[in-house]
């Protein structure tokens, strides 16, 4: 009888320990990319006129502006001045979670430095920031409840930010954070040559948006390599908008005289998807990309479903 009681007690302790383990809350998609600009007026024209985003005030930073593509996804633009400007226009990236406080507690339990509390913004969203192993600033955003309705702009080229990408020096090190702790999943990888891996796409664990490692080589462990130009940094640090049909999207831009910014021709990328690249005034790349591949990708098959809309 005593042995049975001891066994039951051990089982109870094991159950309590298991149930008390901190579980990772869901990460459902990209929230936003935050970038810097020295020319807010030209940047506004690019986002509002060329891309069709909705201009909003920034509840997180009073000097910033949000350019929204839907109710929970946007690009945040922050002004910088000549006295503090650098080649780097990437400020931070952010992902959507339904429970910011639970995510903060989870990361803290795993040894990640976190703030003591999440911040509630004036729009009702909750947010906190951490740094990944290469010191990139990463935010987690819990949208306000209920999520406000954003009137769709019929001239918007897209209403879905399907991925963000930024410079990474050591993919294996970054994986310890994004894959091991956060549950991001390998989606696709490739490069300009079949035997090179320059781009590594990691899909969020509970959705189809993804983060793209833009892998660079050199002695630096963080940030922009010393010999990299601002133009190249802007190509690597980017965001992508999903479209159903590239031909129709380019026609929409052309008919509205919205291809005045620097841009590439439409082309099929190495991942087999139609794309076109446009560039904000400070060089940040806005990539329009079809949701689904049209041809077989190079280098790697897609390991997970692509977004459909």
Each residue of 202-216: pLDDT tens digit? 999 999 999 999 999
Q: In what order do the strands lie in the sheet with 126-131?
A: 54-57, 65-68, 74-79, 29-37, 90-96, 137-142, 126-131, 119-120
Question: Is 306 domain-assigned?
Answer: no
Q: Hey, how many other C-beta atoms are within 10 angstroms of the C-beta on 160? A: 18
- Number of structural domains in the chain: 1
Question: Comparing 3-12, 24-33, 177-186, which segment has the lowest mean pLDDT?
Answer: 3-12
Q: Is residue 305 part of a domain?
A: no
Q: Please report which confidence band the pLDDT of residue 148 belongs to, taking 50, 70 and 90 as the band edges.
A: confident
**123: domain range?**
29-290
**Helix segments in the chain, DSSP class H:** 2-20, 40-45, 100-109, 171-178, 230-236, 246-255
Specify the pLDDT at position 87. Answer: 75
What average pLDDT does this structure show over 114-132? 97
pLDDT tens, position by position, 213-230: 999 998 999 999 988 999
Answer whether residue 17 shows pLDDT above 70.
no
pLDDT for the residue 195: 87
Considering the domain boundaries, does residue 184 fall inside one?
yes
In a domain, 132, yes or no: yes
What pLDDT does 131 receive?
98
Tokens representing 221 are 């462990």
Highest mean pLDDT among 2-11, 105-114, 145-154: 105-114
Question: For residue 234, is it within any domain?
Answer: yes
Q: The tokens of 54 are what? A: 């909705």
Confidence of residue 306 (pLDDT cuts 50, 70, 90): very high
Own/partner pairs, 57-60, CB within 8 angstroms, 24+ separation: 59/121, 59/122, 59/123, 59/125, 60/121, 60/127
Q: How far apart are CA 60 and CA 150, in angstroms?
A: 18
Average pLDDT over all residues of the chain? 91
* CATH number of 123's domain: 3.10.180.10
Residue 308 lies in a domain: no
Task: State how far the alpha carbon of 153 is from the alpha carbons of 35, 70, 161, in Å.
Answer: 23, 10, 15
Predicted TM-score of the model (pTM):
0.91
Per-residue pLDDT at 1: 42
Mean per-residue pLDDT for 71-97?
87
- 287 pLDDT more than 50: yes
User: Does 6 fall in a domain?
Assistant: no
In this predicted structure, which of 40-49, 86-95, 102-111, 169-178 has the lowest mean pLDDT?
86-95
Residue position matching structure tokens 């891309």: 51
Least confident of 2-11, 55-64, 272-281: 2-11
Q: Is residue 297 part of a domain?
A: no
Angle (CA) 302 239 257, round 5°: 115
252 contacts: CB under 8 Å, gap ≥ 6: 155, 157, 258
Q: Which of 38-52, 80-94, 157-171, 263-277 has the lowest mean pLDDT?
A: 80-94
Q: What confidence score (pLDDT) does residue 14 get?
A: 41
């Amino acid at each position: 009888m005593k042995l049975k009681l001891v066994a039951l007690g051990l089982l109870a302790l094991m159950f309590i320990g298991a149930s008390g383990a901190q579980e990772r809350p869901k990460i459902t998609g990209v929230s936003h990319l935050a970038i810097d600009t020295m020319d807010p007026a030209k940047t506004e024209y690019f986002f509002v006129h060329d891309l069709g985003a909705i201009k909003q005030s920034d509840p997180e930073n009073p000097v910033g502006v949000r350019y929204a593509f839907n109710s929970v996804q946007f690009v945040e633009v922050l002004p910088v001045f000549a006295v503090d400007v650098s080649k780097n226009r990437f400020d931070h990236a952010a992902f959507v979670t339904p429970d910011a406080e639970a995510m903060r507690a989870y990361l803290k339990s795993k040894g990640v430095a976190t703030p003591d509390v999440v911040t509630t913004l004036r729009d009702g969203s909750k947010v906190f920031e951490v740094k990944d192993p290469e010191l990139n600033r990463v935010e987690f955003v819990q949208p306000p409840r209920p999520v406000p309705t954003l009137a769709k702009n019929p001239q918007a080229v897209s209403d879905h930010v399907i991925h963000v990408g930024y410079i990474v020096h050591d993919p294996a090190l970054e994986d310890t954070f994004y894959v091991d702790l956060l549950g991001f999943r390998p989606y696709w990888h490739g490069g300009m040559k079949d035997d090179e891996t320059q781009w590594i796409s990691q899909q969020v664990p509970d959705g189809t948006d993804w983060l793209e490692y833009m892998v660079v080589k050199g002695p630096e462990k963080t940030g922009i390599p010393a010999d990299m130009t601002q133009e190249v940094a802007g190509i690597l640090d980017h965001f992508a908008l999903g479209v159903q049909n590239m031909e129709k999207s380019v026609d929409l831009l052309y008919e509205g005289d919205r291809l005045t910014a620097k841009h590439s021709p439409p082309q099929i990328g190495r991942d087999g998807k139609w794309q076109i690249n446009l560039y904000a005034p400070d060089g940040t790349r806005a990539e329009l990309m079809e949701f689904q591949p049209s041809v077989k990708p190079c280098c790697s098959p897609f390991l997970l479903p692509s977004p459909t809309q």
